[in-house]
Each structure stands twice: as C-alpha cells, then as structure tokens.
Amino acid sequence: MADIIRLLPDHVANQIAAGEVVQRPSSVVKELLENAIDAGATEIKLIVKGGGKTLIQVVDNGKGMSITDARLSFERHATSKIEKAEDLFNLNTKGFRGEALASIAAIAHVEMMTKTEADEVGTHIKIEGSKISSQEVAVVPKGTSMLVKNLFFNIPARRNFLKSDQVEYRHITDEFHRVALAHPQIAFHFYNNGSEVFILSANDFRKRIVSIFGRKSNEKLVPVQEDTQVVRISGFVQKPEFAKKSRGEQFFFANNRFIKSPYLHHAILGAFEGLVKPGTHPGYFLNLEVDPSTIDINIHPTKTEVKFDDEHTLYAYLKSAVKHSLGQFNVVPALDFEQDQNLETPYAYQNRHAPTPNIAVDAGFNPFKEQVHKTSHGATYTKTSAKGWENLYEGLQVNNQELRPSTIAFESEEINSTIFDSERDQGEHATTTFQLRKKYIITTIKSGMVVINQSRAHQRVLYEKFLKNITVKEAVSQQLLFPLCLSFSKTELDILIEIKDSLSAVGFVFGEINTEIVEVKGVPVVVVESEVQMVMEQLISDFQLEISTDSFSQGDMLAKTLAKTLSVKTGELLDDRSQLALVNNLFACKETTLSPFNKRTYVTITENDIDRKFI
C-alpha cells in the first residue's frame, strides 16, 4: 500500500491558518490596528473602501521596520513579542502569535511601506497570495503603512460568504470602537469610501466615549473606581434609566484589550438588579487591570475570549464596585412625582419653631338670641334666633318597621359560572372568546375549539399590515403636537438614515436630522409616542445583525421588527372586543398558521380529541 500522508505546501497551510485568524474584513482591521499600537504609534489612520473587501489601509507613525524585519514579518510564526513559552504568561502586547500578517498575505494583495527613524530610506514590499512579487527601496515617512486589497481574491467560496458592504462596514466600525476605546491616549482617524467618519484626538477615557457615542452620552455615565490586590477596576456604567433593549454599548477591557466574558457580564446584571426594566440591558465601559500572569489570552485565535485564574473573586469585586458607584452617586430619577410636597419643609422655616396657637372664646355667646354683629369694615348684620328648629323635621317620621335588616335589599354583582360569555345577546351563531392565563385566546369552531397564542397572532397581523404599507407606501401617520428629538451615536445614525425611506413608508415622519439628533414629527397609528425611542433602538439593534440590506430584505426586516416590538405580549389582559378583533384579523391574513418568525400561532382541538380524554 502506497504512503498517503504528506506535508501540506506552505501556501495551503497559510490559507488554512487564515481561516482561523481572518474571518471577515473587520478581522484584518483588528490585527493591523493592534500591530500599529504595538509599534508605539501616537497617531493611526484607518482607510476603508467597499466594506473592507476592496481596500483596507492602516497608516501609523510608530517605530517602523528595517529591511530584514519587513521581509521576515510575513513568515509564519515570526514575531518580536516572545522568545520562549514562558513569555506567553507575561504578555503586555496585542499581537504575539506571528500569524496575522502571514495569514492576511495568503488571501489578499498586500503592500507594506515602512521606515525606521534611523534609516534614510524605507522599504516597499508587494505580496500576492503569500508570494513576494517585489521589494524595493522607497522614500516614505517614519512608521508603517499597510494596504490590503481584494480580500479572499484566491478563495472565491470564502468571499461569497461575506455580507453586503454596509454590514461589513458595521463590523469594521465595531472593531474600531473597541480599539479606540481601549487606547484613548492615541489619536485615530477613520475614513470610509473617501468620507470622514471619526477624528479622535488623544484624550482621557470619558472624553473618548463622548467623542464616539455623542455628547448626550456624557450625562449617562457614572464613574466606577476600585483598587484591590487582585484587580484594579476603572471606567463607567450608564445610569439605569438609559438601559436599552439592545446590547450595543457594553465593553470590557482587560489590560487594554477588548474581551468578551458572559460570566463578568452576569456580575454587571446582578449589580443592576431591580434598577432596570425587564428586557433591557445596561451599558458599561469598564477597564480591568490584572497581573498578566493571572490571565490567559491565548485560548482563541481572535484573542477576545480570555481565561482568568480567579474568576469568582473578580466577579465579586466587579459586582460590588458597580453597586457602590450606583449608590455613591445617588442614581435615582431627577423628578419624583409620587413625593408628597406637603411633607417638604421650606428652607426659610427649617430652623424656626412652631408658634403656639391662640384661641379666643366668648363665654357670653348665646346662639338662640338675636344679636347684632359688626364686621371689621363697619357693616352690621343680624343673626336670627334658632327658635323652632325642631319644626324642620315635621312630616319625616319613619316607621321603625321599614328599617329592619330583613327588609333592606343590597345590590350584588351577578355571578357567571360559565367559562364563555352567554350567546343570547349575540345571536345563535356568534363567536365567543375566552382569554386563558393572559397568554392564549380560546374560541369555538364547528368541530371543537381553537387555542391561539395572542402574541404570535398579533405579530402575524401587524407583520402583514406593515409589509403591505412598505410595498404600497400608503401608511397612515398621526402627527405629533410636539416633535420628538432623539439622540443617537454616529453608527446608529448611519443605520437610521439607511432605513429612513422604509420607515417613512410605514408611517414615520422625520424632520431635521443632524450629526446626533433625529427629529420625529409623526408616527404610525399603532405606535404610542412614549414607545418611539424603544422602537427605534430595537430597529437599529436588529439591523446591526448580519442581514442583507437589499430593498426586499430591508422592508421585510423592518416589518418583522415593528411587529415584534408593537405586538401584545404574554401577560397583557385583553377585553372581549380586542380578543374577537384579534381572532378575526388573524384568520383574515394570507398566512394564519405561522408567525413572522415561523412559530405556530394556533392549535385546533377537535371534539373527538376531547372525547378521547374521557375514555
């Protein structure tokens, strides 16, 4: 039998490794930005075109590389960060695997221009699919410029799995946020398709948050500070009243590296327990500084999932620190409308004593004697004697027999012992409904009965209504007496502008839209004014997911989100008319059996099914 095991060629091995490190354009952005930070850069520029598929360029003013280092940096497992295995447990840098540049060069066209401060000229290297096509001397400024073009050009199958340019751009923006927040002392410039997105100057952590998420975010922040032997916690949490339906603004940084930790996230939720509404998520920006030897960041190629030596202690410290900050800064609503103003003591009377009241008594006063009184203004009036007052009750004698308890009738509430309402007032063939556990609506049919899930049924009704409005563009809008001014971050605003036409087709009417404020002048009839902010946040959250943004999918997604947000929920009590209207509207839909999310809306229980239960 011939030998069948053989070594893979280097270019194939690099492409396989690239599948772990480079999942999408945002992965390239992350690796290149981290390399620039490790190079000691104080100013970094990120330039993106075509959602990162066409071009990703990162320019920094760091140390740069010599000619030999520039050539060697594209080899697999070539790194300047570690020399022996023990160094993995004492890391203070971002990149250390030596896989990033080799993986990127295996699946894209890469150009590097770099120069150190000591060298007079720099190096310009071009690589296509792991093969160096040219290397020459070039006049370039100090630092490094990396250009990555035509990502996945030699792996068409991987390129086909990428989403639209808008979705990939959002992922790149998310990575940019994570890196920029972790390093506020570095200036960042971000350009997309030739337009300026972010110009962030070197600043402190709070101002960096405000620069990214808008001026309105400043009033939402509560500082958190705790210094222990195990961990040093610093950063901010958002006030409970600003909790959102989405999980957008939640950032953990361990030793200036963005991490994902569901365990520590649970500690934050525990600290906010009882302060936020169910279904909403608090925002936070927290830095954790721990001993590098107590954290393992090498358990995943993307290095976002980490392992702490003592997570239980870290959990307790984090929960306690957040709780302490929320209590220390008296995080309560600014206005308390339930407070009794009569119990408030005015400032001018805080140090005064209550005066003893003086009571004047006229000992010679006779109420049955006609008297002439003089007022303080000199006028006089006569008070008539009350003689004969008992005559007022003449003719009002009541027979004592009429007041016996046995003769008194009390009004009582009618007791109905039947499950369904009586049909005598609705006709012989009228439909009856009954709400069970504030979750299901039960109605009768000829063969038995139907049990309807009220939330899913209402989702189906609203979904078809909104989808029709988006298609026909004949939605009814109710104008607001006072326009609403809603604040959003730049990323959220981009998404809102992208779906603005579809929202207008549903019934939203927009006024002025600037860099941070969106003015809403009208809303659909089914949307309550107090829910507009929540609906917008839910829409933005859903559109941030990996969803195609062509016109049909955008309208479909918008209809689904609005239906899910505005539908009646489990636990809501519906009156008889609402129950009947929901049943009729459901069976008037084109698709009655499934909700927009492919969940069953109702089940049928026949009379035979019930009979079999009694056998």
Q: Which of 117-121, 353-357, 381-385 has the highest mean pLDDT?
A: 117-121
Q: 91 and 239, same structural domain?
A: no
pTM: 0.71
Residue 406 lies in a domain: no
The pLDDT score that the predictor gives to residue 372 is 59
The domain that contains 483 carries what CATH number? 3.30.1370.100
The pLDDT score that the predictor gives to residue 428 is 43
Residue 611 lies in a domain: no
Q: 185 and 119, same structural domain?
A: yes
Q: 229 and 194, same structural domain?
A: no
Q: 73 and 34, same structural domain?
A: yes
pLDDT category, 71, cuts 50, 70, 90?
confident
Distance CA 202, CA 99 (A): 30
Q: 219 and 193, same structural domain?
A: no
Name the residue among 178, 247, 246 with its Cα closest to residue 212: 178
Q: What are phi and psi of 250, to 5 degrees?
A: -135, 115
b (16+ CB within 10 A) / e for 261-296: beebbebbeebbeeebeeebbbbbbbbbebeeeebe
Residue 537 lies in a domain: yes
The pLDDT score that the predictor gives to residue 11 is 65
State which of 301, 328, 355 marks the end of a domain.
Answer: 328
pLDDT tens-digit readout, 376-416: 555 555 555 555 666 666 665 555 555 555 555 555 555 44
Distance CA 344, CA 348 (A): 12
Tell me what the mean pLDDT of segment 460-481 comes to.
Answer: 84
pLDDT tens-digit readout, 293-309: 888 776 666 667 778 88
State which of 200, 223, 255 marks the end of a domain.
Answer: 200
Range of the domain at 41: 10-200
Q: 241 and 190, same structural domain?
A: no
The pLDDT score that the predictor gives to residue 330 is 63
Q: 185 and 225, same structural domain?
A: no
Residue 161 lies in a domain: yes
Q: 254 and 155, same structural domain?
A: no
The pLDDT score that the predictor gives to residue 332 is 47
The pLDDT score that the predictor gives to residue 357 is 77
Residue 180: pLDDT over 90: yes
As for how many domains the chain has, the answer is 3
Distance CA 567, CA 584 (A): 16
Residue 81: pLDDT over 90: no
Tell me what the mean pLDDT of segment 322-331 comes to.
Answer: 82
DSSP 483-547: EEEEE--HHHHHHHHHTHHHHHHHT-EEEEE-SSEEEEEEEETTS-GGGHHHHHHHHHHHHTSS-
pLDDT category, 539, cuts 50, 70, 90?
confident
Q: 599 and 452, same structural domain?
A: yes
The pLDDT score that the predictor gives to residue 395 is 61
Question: Which residues lie across from 61 on neighbouring strands?
Answer: none
Distance CA 504, CA 496 (A): 11
The pLDDT score that the predictor gives to residue 615 is 80
Q: 262 and 196, same structural domain?
A: no
pLDDT category, 224, cuts 50, 70, 90?
very high
Amino acid at 580: L
Q: 271 and 171, same structural domain?
A: no
Residue with the bigger pLDDT between 383 and 476: it is: 476
Tell me what the mean pLDDT of segment 164-187 comes to.
Answer: 92
Question: Which residues lie across from 195 on neighbouring strands?
Answer: 192
pLDDT tens-digit readout, 576-613: 899 999 999 999 999 999 999 899 999 999 988 888 88
